[in-house]
A and B are shown apart, each in its own frame.
Chain A
Amino acid sequence: MQLEDLNIEFHALAGAIPAWRAQIGADRLQPVCAQVRESGGRLLALWGSDERANGQGFALHVALATHPGLLMLSLALDANQPAYPDISAIFPPAERMQRAAYDMLGLCAKDAVDQRKWIRHGCWPEGQFPLRKEFDFTQKMATGLDAYPFIPVLGDGVHEIPVGPVHAGTIEPGHFRFSIVGERVLRLEERLGYKHKGIEKLAETMDALQGAKLAGRVSGDATCAYAWAYAMALESMTGVTPPPRALLLRALLLERERIHNHLGDLGYLGNDVALSFGFAQFWILKEDVLRANGALFGHRYLMDRIIPGGVACDLPPQGKARLLAETEKLEQEIGTLRAIYDEHAGLQDRFLTTGRVSPDRAAKLGLTGLPGRASGQAWDLRAQYPCAPYNELDVRMATHRNGDVAARAIVRVEEVLESLRLTRLILDKLTEGPLTAPVPSAPAGAYGIGMVEGWRGEVLIGLQVGADNRIARMHPHDPSWQNWPVLEHAVIGNIVPDFPLINKSFNLSYTGQDL
């Protein structure tokens, strides 16, 4: 698809990734989405903003991934009756995003089938919308209990298992409602939003530089991806290009985040099928990586190391040798452990065909990121829209088509090995130079987008800055938005005891979608 085919007047957004923005009328939303979908494009994110202070109404923002780049569509909505056409029939992941846009701002997706609340439980009343400017961030309201109409499954022998919000392990809170017959899952319905802590509204009390720290705490396990996406958004609107050494260090940190998360998941996947040997082994490797992070960069999870304009840490002189030695050791150990996983009959029996999402279904439902690549969805921003320094690294994307727990495990192994290859390349390219570029105040009304391939998938930050460099709107988008609904499909027909394994193989963020 070429941009011209859409017949819309786009203007290019400055920044590290190819992106265009356009204002469109409400009548054009569905046809444009349908055309993008037909040409293989995807929905990345959907959110709203309150523009009434600027003499307008509300606005809806839709981010689409197409082969040429990122398309940002904005719709002006009425100040009194903000409504827009439903696009969830075209892009199924839009459904929950639309429901959230209603809960947070009162924007209504006309004719959408599911109009239930999503983020709102009992902590603010219906008819109030936290992201409207008149809503007071600090007010304390009486907490009501949540009444949520789950969809019942009826029939002989069907019964329900409610799980959560407090789960049996060290996991984030959320509610899962299983409808089962015997051991088999007929239907899973998720209820999320328990971790909603007002991140988007909180951002509007901050200035653009402070926002970076908050962005790095949207989902702590992906702090590098969020911090980089935020920095990219702010740099795009202020015309800043970080120095080459800073960009290489950012990539080094992002790959280390991918490595430690994938190692942890590979360990837990072993643990979940009673191979505690796998847990012990992979978590030794993970701990080694975290300790090196702490020793070299001053933080085990690298929080606040990526900042607008560059990086807040440097690789100390002895660091290169340590990282090269670590890389070699990891490659060796992962090779050994991979062979053990591959040949372990009990583990393979649990992994193979479990929680399968076929490539067809994945494409239809918009599965993205790591689980997407395990189901034949070949999207990886590092390969597709390689921002610097990835444009010089030639990232090899890992894809598989089986779409089961085994495939998601293999993609992790391959991605860790690729990250280790990238680590060597980055260390090789790293030359001396400054670590930051000064970031001026953003012009009032500035609009920027940042997007980074985190270990789960693409992390997107939409940023608008108002007067005095204050944040007017910050929308962080986690790939978990797309993938949570697909998890409901992945477990159908599986036995209940396999749910923890399937869930772990997706390893989605709760906080990233609850915000």
Chain B
Amino acid sequence: MYQILKQILKTGIKTEPHPVADDALRTAAQGLQAEILHVFGQALSIRHVDAGSCNGCELEIHALNNPYYNIEGLGIKFTASPRHADMLLVTGPVAKHMEVALKRTFDATPEPKFVVAIGDCGCTGGIFGESYASCGRVSNVIPVDVAVPGCPPTPIAIMQGILAAISAR
């Protein structure tokens, strides 16, 4: 126990200032209503869905939870069930084999809800494109509010995308 406490003290607080929302990432007019923002306030639950990524974007989503980015410090946490979620964070081109699962996850998420597509593949289909096995971009399958490009996007860019979705215009 002593060693753990000593290490914690030595490490100090690593968390950096959080970025601000990047409005440029909005894909379309979202019709954000004041009451939605009121409902979410400063607490947001996110359900991540990997719809067919190369797992690169997952690495950066994991990094959001490290002490530097400390996304929970913003009141944002990842939840285990879409039924508890306010937002879906979707990575990958949507593999055909994941199409049904993604739609069902979307349907299981209660209104009001946001969808943020992560990475070049989520935004455009990326290198995998559309084919017999890939539906391409996330918005081909479910409605998307914000799309964050990058291969993979940095944790800061992902945070900016999340914040863009929930902050008022």
Contact = CB atoms under 8 A, between A and B. Distances in A.
Contact of A130 (B4, B7, B132, B151): B132
B7 A143 contact: no
Nearest to A271: B65
B105 A166 contact: yes
A194 B65 contact: no
A401 interface: no
Interface string A217-229: 1111101000000
B145 interface: no
A284 B68 contact: yes
Given A130-B132, A141-B132, A173-B98, A287 B55 contact: no
A337 interface: yes
Contacts of A146: 97
Contact of A198 (B4, B57, B92, B128): B128
Contacts of A138: 130-132
A172 B55 contact: yes
Given A166-B49, A280-B67, A283-B63, A219 B55 contact: yes
B156 to A, nearest CB: 11
Nearest to B62: A170
A134 B110 CA distance: 44
A283 B80 CA distance: 21
B162 interface: no
Given A170-B78, A510-B55, A283 B67 contact: yes
A500 B11 CA distance: 28
Interface in B88-137: 92-93, 95-101, 105, 127-134
Interface in B39-66: 48-63, 65-66
Interface stretch (A90-98, A116-124, A385-393, A460-468): A116-124
A124 to B, nearest CB: 6
Contacts of A130: 132-133
A340 B100 contact: no
B14 interface: yes
Interface string A242-268: 000000000000000000000010000
Given A140-B130, A168-B81, A283-B66, A194 B97 contact: yes
Question: Is the contact region of chain A dominated by helix, strand, or loop, or is it mixed?
Answer: loop
A264 B63 CA distance: 9
B101 A166 contact: yes
Interface residues of A, number: 62
Contacts of B11: 280-281, 284
A202 B56 contact: no
- Residue of B3, B61, B78, B97 with most partner-chain A CB within 10 A: B97
Contacts of B9: none
A337 B11 CA distance: 12
B55 A202 contact: no
B132 A280 contact: no
B130 A301 contact: no
Nearest to B104: A166
Interface in A114-170: 121-124, 130, 135-141, 143, 145-146, 165-166, 168-170
A123 B52 CA distance: 14
Contacts of A220: 53-59, 152
B167 interface: no
Nearest to A286: B66
Contacts of A287: 63, 66, 68
Given A166-B101, A283-B65, A301-B56, A198 B134 contact: yes
A509 interface: yes
B34 interface: no
Contact of B54 (A168, A169, A219, A300): A219
A483 to B, nearest CB: 16
B133 A170 contact: no
A318 interface: no
A193 B93 CA distance: 15
Contacts of B8: 277
B3 A124 contact: no
A440 B32 CA distance: 55
Given A196-B95, A220-B59, A281-B7, 13 more contacts: A121-B96, A140-B130, A140-B132, A165-B98, A172-B58, A173-B50, A197-B133, A198-B134, A277-B8, A301-B152, A336-B3, A343-B3, A514-B97
17 contacts: A121-B96, A123-B133, A138-B131, A143-B96, A143-B100, A197-B95, A198-B133, A201-B133, A202-B128, A202-B129, A217-B54, A218-B54, A220-B54, A221-B59, A264-B59, A286-B63, A514-B97
Top 10 A-B pairs ranked by shortest CB distance? A220-B56, A198-B133, A123-B96, A168-B80, A283-B66, A220-B54, A217-B54, A121-B97, A197-B134, A194-B97
Interface of B: 3-4, 7-8, 11, 14, 48-63, 65-68, 78, 80-82, 92-93, 95-101, 105, 127-134, 151-152, 154
